């Protein structure tokens, strides 16, 4: 590319941000005719390799925001850039994984075949696909359950299959909507450790939504607190604690209290 | 890891239990029917109601001289041809009509209209168009089976989960793969129940078509036997048909369905 010199002010910034949300607003049509204002002027930058948590009350538009970042929903105002490219022009969507709030497992596929599904969009030899899916299931602690159908799994196990499905692509950007909300406390903290370990290896950028303040402090580099009706960013708090973080230490508790006060 | 759960999952699904009392019950039922039949046949001339023994003998005759297998194969071949044709056209058409709202809305009234047309009317048209030939029976089966398959597939297409489509969309899955990996598995149970209905109907109307416009097949032989007042043969053909449909249902369709839809949780029976 030919450099346009000093005038090209966007590119150096864009290179360091994996995700830029730029003045995004969104309305939904509603039954009474008055459009529902769901997101209002959201601005967000997520640095490459960092972990961002989004906290906020139910219905304040967190899932909608992730849908917009993932490109499946168009904002009514503003724009989203992925790796510095406006999302309409962004091509490499397979490097962006989205773990939905619901597990969305295909009921007619076994756990293993559900994980494989993510790899089937592109072409890949069957044996390799199987091996990768197997590894991903192992990663979320579900080896032995490859041949179980979704109806045979508990809610927590199902969401772990969904997690495996979004990890199997080895994404550069991982969007997760309440990924651990259906797990018991013990499994959840196991998954936290696991996620941080994978993050240490792959260094993907992670944006996740949670209702759990403690989870956001333990995992994230920064936490965005959203306010409802219409959804907007109330505050962004950087978590300056070295990892691994222990939820019982006073500095973590301080952050938790501060965030609780903001919600 | 929870090993108890693991065992439950890997244990093979419990097969439907062979209940001895159930077998005895069924045998008793068959025995009762044959008994009543036999007693009734004693009071009547054999050309009105032949007894079980007479029918059995007639069954042995037509199976020994090959008459039975020959005509059964002909009829089955025609039903299969009409049914496969109906599937080949009905399945894609149902998917297209279900996936495309505009087209669906436009063609919606056709199906109920087609369903009201009696198979006898199709048979008469078939004779006008194709004369006494294989095509007559195949056409009648086709015209009866196709609306049933289209209707069911169409309904199935409407139940495709938008969440799954969205998931495929985030994976940037190409359209033909979405069709193959999400639409088809969703539709399959609907298609299956439609196909089953269509096959059953097709089989029944094939006999009607054969009595009117054919010089071979079970329907033709039934009518011949009736014309010659060989009532015992009419009974023999009828019993053959019933046994064959039951064997097909229990030997092929039921196991196939159980295998294909093993991912469905069975409702706990109370
Ligand atoms: N497709 C849609 N059409 C109309 N309204 C919608 C749609 N999706 C979401 N909404 C509305 O937008 C608002 C925000 O929804 P969203 O799912 O983003 O909330 P959320 O913050 O994720 O909530 P939760 O924490 O409960 O998941 C809600 O009021 C919801 O009713
Ligand atoms: Mg949500």
Which ipTM value was assigned to this complex? 0.84
Kindly report which listed range (A6-20, B10-24, B55-69, B83-97) carries the lowest average pLDDT score: A6-20
Question: Are A109 and B263 inside 8 Å of each other by CB?
Answer: yes
Atom nearest to A64 CA in ligand 1: 18
Indicate whether residue A38 lines ligand 1 (CB < 6 A): yes
In this prediction, residues B169-174 reach a mean pLDDT of 90
What is the tens place of the pLDDT at every residue in B107-158?
888 888 887 888 888 888 888 898 888 888 899 889 989 998 998 998 898 8
Distance separating alpha carbons of residues A36 and A31, to the nearest angstrom: 9
Question: Are A108 and B263 inside 8 Å of each other by CB?
Answer: yes
- Chain B: closest CA distance from residue A90 (Å): 12
Tell whether the model's pLDDT for residue B9 goes beyond 80.
no
Distance separating alpha carbons of residues A226 and B196, to the nearest angstrom: 54
In this prediction, residues A125-136 reach a mean pLDDT of 92
- Chain B: closest CA distance from residue A64 (Å): 14
Q: Whose CA is nearest to atom 5 of ligand 1?
A: A28
Indicate whether residue A97 lines ligand 1 (CB < 6 A): no
Q: In this structure, how many other beta carbons lie within 10 angstroms of the beta carbon of residue A262?
A: 16
Output helix, strand, coil percentages for chain A, rounded to the nearest 5.
40, 25, 35
Nearest to A205 by CA among A82, A115, A86: A82
Confidence of residue A5 (pLDDT cuts 50, 70, 90): very low
Tell whether the model's pLDDT for residue A151 goes beyond 60.
yes
Q: Which architecture does CATH list for A17-102+172-262?
A: 3-Layer(aba) Sandwich (3.40)
Distance separating alpha carbons of residues A202 and B94, to the nearest angstrom: 46
Two tokens, residue A17: 């941000």
Output helix, strand, coil percentages for chain B, rounded to the nearest 5.
80, 0, 20
Dihedral of CA atoms B140, B145, B147, B150 in degrees, nearest 10, equals -140
Question: Are A147 and B1 inside 8 Å of each other by CB?
Answer: no
- Chain A: closest CA distance from residue B170 (Å): 7
Q: Map out the domains of chain A as residue ranges.
A: 17-102+172-262
Domains and CATH numbers, chain B: 73-269 (1.10.3720.10)
């Amino acid at each position: 590319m030919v450099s346009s010199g000093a005038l090209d002010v966007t590119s150096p910034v864009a290179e360091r941000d994996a995700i830029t949300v730029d003045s995004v607003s969104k309305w939904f049509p509603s039954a009474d005719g008055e459009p529902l204002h769901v997101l209002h002027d959201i601005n967000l930058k997520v640095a490459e390799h960092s972990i961002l948590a989004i906290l906020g009350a139910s219905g304040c538009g967190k899932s909608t925001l992730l849908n917009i970042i993932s490109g499946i929903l168009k904002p009514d105002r503003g724009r989203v850039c992925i790796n510095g490219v406006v999302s309409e022009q962004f091509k490499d969507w397979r490097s962006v994984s989205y773990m939905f709030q619901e597990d969305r497992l295909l009921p007619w596929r076994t756990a293993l075949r559900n994980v494989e599904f993510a790899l089937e969009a592109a072409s890949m030899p069957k044996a390799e696909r199987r091996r990768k899916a197997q590894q991903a299931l192992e990663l979320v602690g579900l080896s032995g359950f490859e041949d179980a159908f979704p109806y045979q799994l508990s809610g927590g196990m199902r969401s772990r299959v969904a997690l495996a499905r979004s990890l199997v692509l080895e994404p550069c950007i991982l969007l997760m909507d309440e990924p651990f909300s259906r797990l018991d406390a013990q499994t959840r903290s196991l998954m936290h450790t696991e996620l941080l370990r994978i993050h240490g290896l792959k260094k993907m950028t992670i944006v996740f939504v949670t209702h759990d303040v403690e989870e956001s402090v333990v995992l994230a580099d920064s936490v965005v607190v959203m306010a409802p009706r219409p959804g907007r960013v109330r505050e962004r708090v950087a978590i300056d604690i070295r990892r691994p973080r222990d939820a019982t230490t006073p500095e973590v508790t301080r952050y938790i209290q501060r965030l609780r006060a903001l919600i | 890891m929870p090993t108890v759960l693991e065992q439950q999952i890997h244990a093979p699904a419990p097969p439907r239990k062979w209940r001895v009392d159930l077998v005895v019950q069924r045998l008793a039922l068959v025995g009762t029917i044959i008994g009543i039949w036999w007693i009734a046949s004693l009071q009547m001339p054999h050309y009105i109601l032949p007894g079980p023994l007479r029918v059995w003998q007639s069954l042995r005759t037509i199976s020994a001289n090959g008459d039975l297998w020959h005509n059964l194969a002909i009829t089955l071949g025609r039903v299969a041809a009409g049914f496969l044709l109906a599937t080949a056209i009905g399945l894609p058409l149902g998917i297209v009509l279900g996936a495309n709202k505009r087209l669906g809305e436009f063609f919606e009234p056709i199906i109920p209209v087609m369903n009201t047309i009696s198979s006898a009317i199709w048979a008469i048209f078939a004779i006008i168009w194709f004369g006494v030939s294989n095509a007559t029976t195949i056409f009648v089966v086709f015209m009866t089976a196709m609306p049933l398959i289209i209707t069911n597939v169409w309904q199935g297409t409407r139940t495709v989960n938008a969440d799954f489509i969205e998931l495929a969309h985030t994976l940037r899955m190409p359209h033909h793969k979405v069709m193959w990996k999400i639409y088809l598995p969703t539709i399959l149970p609907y298609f299956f129940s439609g196909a089953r209905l269509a096959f059953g109907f097709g089989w029944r109307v094939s006999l009607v078509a054969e009595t009117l416009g054919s010089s071979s097949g079970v329907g033709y032989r039934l009518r011949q036997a009736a014309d010659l007042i060989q009532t015992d043969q009419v009974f023999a053909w009828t019993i053959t048909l019933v046994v064959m449909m039951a064997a097909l249902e229990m030997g092929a369709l039921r196991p196939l369905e159980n295998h294909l839809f093993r991912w469905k949780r069975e409702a706990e029976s109370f």
